[in-house]
Amino acid sequence: MERCDWPSNNALMIQYHDNEWGTPLHDDKKLFEYLVLDAFQAGLSWQTILNKRENFRLALDDFDHRKIAVYNDAKIEELMNNAGIIRNRLKIKATIGNAKSFLRIQ
């Protein structure tokens, strides 16, 4: 496989490049995961997001858009106190809004 330069020598970035990036995808759950991660990536590096991906998976109920759509203020505060994810209130609220929109689109 010919690899782009951007993964450098980082094993996590190489795995993402070789197995996920640019691969057609038709699974709603995985598409929502990418939507969430991409939103949290704004202003940050993709490597930062990949390093926190499993923390996001745990914190956000395995990217279950049905569960995320009904998150309340207490859950937002829980997420704001989770050092394993990006603690940005606007991005967290956007994720909840995106989950609601995702449900409407489905």
Domain tally, the chain: 1
Tell me how far the alpha carbon of residue 53 is from its chain's centroid. Answer: 6
Tokens 């109920």 -> residue: 61
pLDDT value at residue 1: 76
Q: What CATH number is associated with residue 84?
A: 1.10.340.30
pTM above 0.85, yes or no: yes
Is residue 75 domain-resident? yes
Is residue 50 domain-resident? yes
Is residue 23 domain-resident? no
Is residue 9 domain-resident? no
Mean pLDDT of the chain: 96
In sequence order, which ranges of the chain are alpha helices (DSSP H)?
11-19, 28-41, 46-59, 65-68, 73-80, 89-105
Q: Which domain holds residue 100?
A: 29-105
Q: How far apart are CA 71 and CA 93, in angstroms?
A: 9
pLDDT > 90: percent of the chain:
96
Q: At residue 93, does pLDDT exceed 90? A: yes
pLDDT, tens only, 9-29: 999 999 999 999 989 999 999
Is residue 18 domain-resident? no
Is residue 99 domain-resident? yes
Is residue 22 domain-resident? no
Report, as an integer, the average pLDDT of 71-98.
98
The CB density around residue 90, as the number of other CB atoms within 10 Å, is 9
Spatial neighbors of 10 by CB under 8 A, at least 6 apart, are 47
pLDDT value at residue 39: 97
- pLDDT band of 40, cuts 50, 70, 90: very high
